[in-house]
Structure 1
Amino acid sequence: MTTALDHYNVRMLRVLDHIDAHLEGDLDLETVSGVAAFSKFHFHRQFKATFGLSLHRYVQLARLRRASKQLADAQGESVTDIALDAGYETPDAFARAFRQRFRQSPSSFRKSPEWEPWLQAFGPLNSARSKLMPTHFTPDQVTLRDTGPIRVAMFEHQGDPATLDVTIQRFIAWRKAAGLTPKTSPIFNIWYTERRPANPADYRMDLCVGIRPDQPIDPTDTAVREGEIPGGRVAVLSVSGDTHNLEPAALYLYRDWLPTSGEEMRDFPIYCQRFFLDEPAGGTAAELFLPLK
């Protein structure tokens, strides 16, 4: 039964990967159901039952999310080009849909994004993938490794995890302005609390990007600080395909792997490195690091 369910979930995740990689293409029911090799006569019900929103709404939200991120890049495409790429026949139709979702016009969002309505609009989209995240891991997936210290620029998020996407967008904007790209500079997350603490205000994590030893950090920039991920022994667990929610992998390391490993943790939080795969359909990948003595 588990194998059959896993196979089913893989087919459904394949659909999300295809949608996210082909937002400019034809994503009608027949095309998308064919990606998963499911009957088009039932697929719309399967999709909604699995992900909690209709195929049409998922595609619409995914296109609007890409469009909003393109708008946030002030040096990017024109509003007209972004509207057409998002599947709208006219810029006016795009503007109406954008304003309805985000309570801002596209031009206003480009000048000064308001991230709170943005977060609310994409709640269903962000939760869709997490419904099929892998939750089962085995000891042979964990490896031991020795790492060296890594100098990083650290961007802190402290407060309700529901607002994390806002911090992420600010971090990305800062990283781009600093000329740091994921292909040349490693991206890390450091977690100081569980994903859903009893008091959401207690949630804390750092978004980090690796920097050269000679690369300066502006001491007057209050948004970022210089730091270091210390070297040492670590237990490493890899996750690929979808990495929106890494809590199941972290819980496996803490709750299942560590007690039977004979290892002890050292005094540094669990952290991960994120990878952005060359092929968009491949999604993302991450390695979780549990620091050991």
Structure 2
Amino acid sequence: MTAALQNYQARMRRVLEHIDRHLDTDLDLDSLSGVAAFSKFHFHRQFSATFGLSVHRYVQLARMKRASYRLAYSDAQSVTDIAMDAGYDAPDAFARAFRQRFGQSPSSFRKSPVWEPWLAAFGPLDIARSKLMQTNFTPDDVTIHNVPTIKVAIMEHRGDPAMLGATIQRFIAWRKSAGLHPSTSPTFNVWRSERRPAQPADYSADLCVGTDQPIVANGEDIKSGEIPGGRCAVLRVVGYTDNLEPAALYLYRDWLPASGEEVRDFPIYCQRLSFFPEVPEHETVAELFLPLK
């Protein structure tokens, strides 16, 4: 039964990866049931039973998530182009659907996103993905590296994690103005609190970009600092890197006690190596670093 269940889940996971990779194409029941090698007469019920969302609803949310990322974090595409890529025949239809879901027009969201409705809207999508997309880590996935000290520019986020998206948006805009593109200047997140502290106001994280050039703040609250070098346990995560908490928990709860290692006084951090929506969500890559003595 275990082997049969694993095979079933792998087939469903294949469907999610296919959707991620083909958001610009016609994702109908016939094609998706073929990807899973399930009967098209039962596939929509199997999908709903597994993920708690219909196929149509899942695809809608996945396309809308990509569209919202492009609106908030990239100005390379027009609202019209983003609407077409999201599967809408006209910008007006996209604007109505967007406003109904997020309470803002696409243009308003691009200028000043309100993140609380956004987080609520994609809760069902995150829950659906988490059912099968989690990775089970093993000790073989963890390596120990001596990493160099990295000089960074830092934008701090302090307070409600629901507002982190606004800080990320400002950070990306500042990076563009400073000419620090992710392809040439590495991206790091340093977590100074739990992902969900008891009080949202206690949430604390640093958004960092590797650079040794003089920092020009351009009106933002940017400071220079460094990520100290030394021994680190490194865990590479591929796919759905929005939520790295399961990987961090594995390092702290499972790997660390069994390893005999001790941590040093610097928080766990990650380097983000590829980004959604530049790559499909299941192809995003991040590496977690747990500093060791």
The yes-or-no answer on 1:223 pairing with 2:221 is yes
What's the CA shift for 1:163? Answer: 3.6
Q: Distance in 2 between matches of 1:128 and 1:12?
A: 11
1:170-249 correspondence to structure 2 within 5 Å: 170-211=170-211, 213=212, 215-219=213-217, 221-249=219-247
* Cα shift at 1:282: 5.1
2: distance between equivalents of 1:3 and 1:165?
40
Specify the SS of the correspondent of 1:41: coil
In the TM superposition, residue 173 of structure 1 has moved relative to its aligned partner by: 3.2
Q: Which runs of 4+ in 1 moved over 6 A?
A: none
Corresponding residue of 1:102: 102
Shift of 1:231: 0.4
Q: Distance in 2 between matches of 1:30 and 1:70?
A: 29
- Please list, as runs of the form range in 1=range in 2, the aligned pairs for 1:71-86 lying within 5 A after superposition: 71-72=71-72, 75-86=75-86
| Residue matched to 1:24 | 24
Map 1:118-129 → 2, pairs under 5 A: 118-129=118-129
Assess, with a 3 A threshold, how the Cα gap between structure 1 residues 254 and 156 changes in structure 2: closer, same or farther. same
Q: Tell me, yes or no, if structure 1 residue 130 matches structure 2 residue 130.
A: yes
Q: Distance in 1 between matches of 2:57 and 2:203?
A: 31
Equivalent residues of 1:239, 1:287 under 8 A apart:
yes
Say if 1:138 and 1:75 are closer, same or farther in 2 by CA, change over 3 A: closer
Gaps of 5+ in 2: none
**Higher mean Cα deviation, 279-288 or 146-155?**
279-288
Counterpart secondary structure, 1:180: coil
Determine helix, strand or coil for the equivalent of 1:249.
Answer: helix
State the Cα distance separating 1:166 from its structure 2 match. 3.5
Q: CA RMSD for the aligned pairs?
A: 2.5
Name 1:292's counterpart in structure 2.
292
Structure 1, 84-93 or 277-286: larger mean CA deviation: 277-286
CA shift digits 1:78-134 (9 cap, x unpaired): 333322222112222122112211222223333433333333322222333223343
Tell me the alpha carbon deviations over residues 125-148 of structure 1, each in whole angstroms, 9 at most, x when there is no partner. Answer: 233322334353222221111000
CA contact under 8 A between 1:44 and 1:54: conserved in structure 2?
yes
Letter in 1 for 2:123: G
Distance 1:177 1:30 in 2: 46
Q: Name 1:37's counterpart in structure 2.
A: 37
> Match for 1:53: what amino acid?
L
Aligned identity (percent) is: 71
Note the C-alpha offset of 1:251.
1.6
AA at the equivalent of 1:238: R
TM-score of the aligned structures, taking structure 2 as reference length: 0.87
Checking the alignment, whether the CA contact within 8 Å between 1:157 and 1:207 is kept in structure 2 is yes
User: Given that residues 272 and 287 in structure 1 are in contact (C-alpha distance below 8 angstroms), is that contact kept between their aligned partners in structure 2?
Assistant: yes
Shift of 1:236: 1.2
Say which SS state the counterpart of residue 132 (structure 1) adopts.
helix
1:6 deviates by: 4.1
Q: Could you give the per-residue CA deviations for residues 178-202 of structure 1, whole angstroms, max 9, x where no partner exists?
A: 3333322222121122222222322
Cα distance in structure 1, aligned partners of 2:3 and 2:170 = 41
Q: Is the 8 A contact 2:274 2:285 kept in 1?
A: yes
CA distance in 2, matches of 1:174, 1:52: 39
